[in-house]
Amino acid sequence: MPPAFSTLRADALARELDVGLDVGICLACLSFVSSAIDEGDPRKVAREVRRMTPDLWDEGLAEPSRAAIRRAAARGVPEAEAALRDLELNGSGSAIARSIVHRLATELSERVHRDLRLEASAREALGRTTPELN
């Protein structure tokens, strides 16, 4: 029997996959994980990833993820074949499924923070302008 597909290996592969926030999953659901990431408590992050992955997986993340892993395997990306076996054995409870959700939640958090910084910058710049009279 092959060794278990570890979280470390799954995290490395998840960073290589072409699965993004545009796959059609519920970003509000994913925000439970991204909020935990923002809080910085690794135990809470792990708990939210475990709690939300099955829902996200069932609502549409499974097929784009499987397809991305298959494409990675076809390109010869290390660990892709092992990830496919992990998915076959464990589905949404697999290390790779959880790693994909964690990666997407991290991207969501980064996007939200970037957008908030941009909004704050725009508001600040707008406050320095004089309205035009038409």
What confidence tens digit (pLDDT) does each residue in 5-16 have? 899 999 999 999
Q: What is the mean pLDDT of residues 19-47?
A: 96
Whether the CB-CB separation of 23 and 60 falls below 8 Å is answered with yes
How far apart are the C-alpha atoms of 88 and 119, rounded to whole Å?
43
| H-assigned helices in the chain | 7-14, 27-39, 42-56, 62-74, 80-90, 95-127
pTM: 0.87
Of residues 124 and 77, more confidence is placed in 77
Annotated domain spans of the chain = 7-108
Query: Rounded to 10 degrees, what is the CA torsion of 15, 17, 18, 22?
Result: -70
How high is the pLDDT of residue 122? 82
